[in-house]
Structure 1
Amino acid sequence: MSTRETVQSVTRAAAIIEAVVSEGGIVSLKTIAEKTGLAAATVHRLASTLVETGLLRQAPGREYVLAPTLMWAGGAAQSVTKRWAVPILQQVVDATGETANLAAREGDKIVYLAQVPSPYSMRMFTEVGRRVDLHCTAVGKALLANREDSEVRKLLARTGMRRYTSSTITSPDEFITELDTARKNGFAGDESEQEEGVRCVAVSHGSGRSAIAISVSGPEARFTYDKREGAAQTIASAIAASPFLPPD
């Protein structure tokens, strides 16, 4: 087997694991094929290898399930993430007074990886591990702003654009315009698009599967529109000063 074939197999195996994770840890072969774009025969061959190596299990109903080994690895990864992320998020909270979150893309969703809450009693709270849509969050927009418009349109067609509030963007054309604004400003915003009365700004770092986004969110009455740019600059400065994140 050539080096290229070996790398391709690893990439495809990683895509299969990501598909299983994005579906909550248990998924059929058909769904994996649909989410990865791989042929069913290819999925079966690679998934069988992952079962043999102990990374996946096959349930009685023939679905593929994350094996305990990967669950343990996920817990260890979360612990390491918190170790480097919390100091960055705390710096952002100290400067803005609002809740700071770390998020990354997982398949067609955003997953929250770490959070430091605002010291105020009225504050935003997002459960770590929660998965949400990309189109209605500042972190989702910040990450999608780094992708080609054609890729974004395919994602929106695949996932739909569910309306969560009266402010949720549900038009692909309007969403692309929103991404253009984010690219120009260097940060993305969420104006009550997922939750009424909540304002959020986010800045992304990195590219590809390793890209992350850090956000600041708070009630609109306190985290006013004129504070958005300052909050985004605070996030960017915290990212740049972190010894754990390489230069973008």
Structure 2
Amino acid sequence: MYQVEDIQLVESKSYGTVLIKAKAILDYLMDHDSGLTLKEIHEGMEMSKSTTLKILTTMCELDLLWRNDEDKKYHLGAELIGLGQKALADFNIHQIALPYLKELRDATEETVHLGVEIADHVEFLEKLESPRSVNLKSKIGGRLNLYCSAMGKAILATKTPDELENYFDSNPLDPLTKFTLVNRKAIMKQIDVVRQNGYSIDDRENEVEVFCIGTVLKKHNQVYGAFSVSTPYYRMDEDREKRIIKLVLETKEKIEQAI
């Protein structure tokens, strides 16, 4: 969602301030589960009432929004359905995320992975190798289990209770190392922690002696993938873990803003 200062920053560099404000209104509506009134939009966006009304009226004429006459709330319009489907068909998370993931690899000097969920697994889209000596089994096109990987647990943390129940009922929790959690309740506790912290940990659960910190890429309730930093366990200490977590969360924010 655009904040007022974000709109002003973009306006200084772009042509067409009305388009920028219209996009900000769309983002604002997408971040709310139900429609919003004119008052709620212009106050929430800190835009003048007259300007907001003009933009909303134009967007309704274009079917980008529609207004419920009973409660006077504005909702996303049908025209966005086709646009959204085409955008998803053309969307390439790899292309968007890659520059930021390269920066993360260079900053951490560790291996960085990008993945997406496919058939209850994480499939690798990218692997950026560490410049330091390390030998990880992962390869592009390879797959990880959700329950015992950093990217996988980050993805599980975005799911509803029903989706999680279906996942656990359909997938055996086999131990891959002596550190792998195979108890559903214990994994659910980890998932709760991931939701609170915004990142996930794989402490030698998927590959012995490999420690991973991961997070999900999500915007407007749409999950686009996940990424992680993987390091040999012997190179990890408390201070380094905190530093990598900070870099991972900063990278997450940059990519989500670029989506």
Query: What is the Cα deviation at residue 97 of structure 1?
Result: 1.2
Cα deviation 1:76-124 (Å, max 9, x = unaligned): x89x554333211111111111111111111211111112111002243
Aligned-residue CA RMSD in angstroms?
A: 2.4
Q: Which residue number corresponds to residue 196 of structure 1?
A: 208
Q: Which residue number corresponds to residue 32 of structure 2?
A: none
Please give the secondary structure, in 2, of the residue aligned with 1:146. coil
Q: Which residue number corresponds to residue 146 of structure 1?
A: 158
1:241 aligned to 2:254?
A: yes
Aligned-pair identity in percent equals: 25
Structure 2 letter corresponding to 1:134: L
Q: Which residue number corresponds to residue 229 of structure 1?
A: 242
Query: What is the Cα deviation at residue 162 of structure 1?
Result: 1.1
Return the alpha-carbon distance in structure 2 between the equivalents of residues 125 and 95 of structure 1.
22
Return the alpha-carbon distance in structure 2 between the equivalents of residues 169 and 144 of structure 1.
15
1:175 aligned to 2:221?
A: no
Q: What TM-score does the superposition give when structure 2 sets the normalisation length? A: 0.60
Structure 2 letter corresponding to 1:83: Q
Q: Which residue number corresponds to residue 86 of structure 1?
A: 98
Return the alpha-carbon distance in structure 2 between the equivalents of residues 206 and 199 of structure 1.
23
Return the alpha-carbon distance in structure 1 between the equivalents of residues 143 and 198 of structure 2.
24
Larger radius of gyration: 2
Return the alpha-carbon distance in structure 2 between the equivalents of residues 221 and 105 of structure 1.
29
Return the alpha-carbon distance in structure 1 between the equivalents of residues 201 and 155 of structure 2.
12
Q: Which residue number corresponds to residue 166 of structure 1?
A: 178
Tell me whether 167-176 or 217-226 shows the greater mean CA deviation: 217-226
Query: What is the Cα deviation at residue 182 of structure 1?
Result: 1.1
Q: Which residue number corresponds to residue 134 of structure 2?
A: 122
Return the alpha-carbon distance in structure 1 between the equivalents of residues 212 and 238 of structure 2.
10
Q: What TM-score does the superposition give when structure 1 sets the normalisation length? A: 0.62
Q: Which residue number corresponds to residue 107 of structure 2?
A: 95
Query: What is the Cα deviation at residue 165 of structure 1?
Result: 0.6
Structure 1 contact 105–209 (Cα < 8 Å) conserved:
no
Please give the secondary structure, in 2, of the residue aligned with 1:100. strand
Which residue of the other structure, out of 121, 144, 149, is the alignment partner of 1:137? 149
Structure 1 contact 153–172 (Cα < 8 Å) conserved:
no
Structure 2 letter corresponding to 1:100: V
Task: Report how many aligned residue pairs link the two structures.
Answer: 170
Structure 2 letter corresponding to 1:230: R
Return the alpha-carbon distance in structure 2 between the equivalents of residues 114 and 224 of structure 1.
26
Structure 1 letter corresponding to 2:162: S
Aligned pair in 2 of structure 1 residues 158, 243: CA closer, same or farther (>3 Å)? Answer: closer
1:9-24 map, 5 Å: none
Cα deviation 1:188-218 (Å, max 9, x = unaligned): 0000101110100101111666431110001
Gaps of 5+ in 2: 1-89
Q: Which residue number corresponds to residue 67 of structure 1?
A: none
1:155 aligned to 2:163?
A: no
Q: Which residue number corresponds to residue 184 of structure 1?
A: 196
Q: Which residue number corresponds to residue 105 of structure 1?
A: 117
Return the alpha-carbon distance in structure 1 between the equivalents of residues 140 and 127 of structure 2.
7
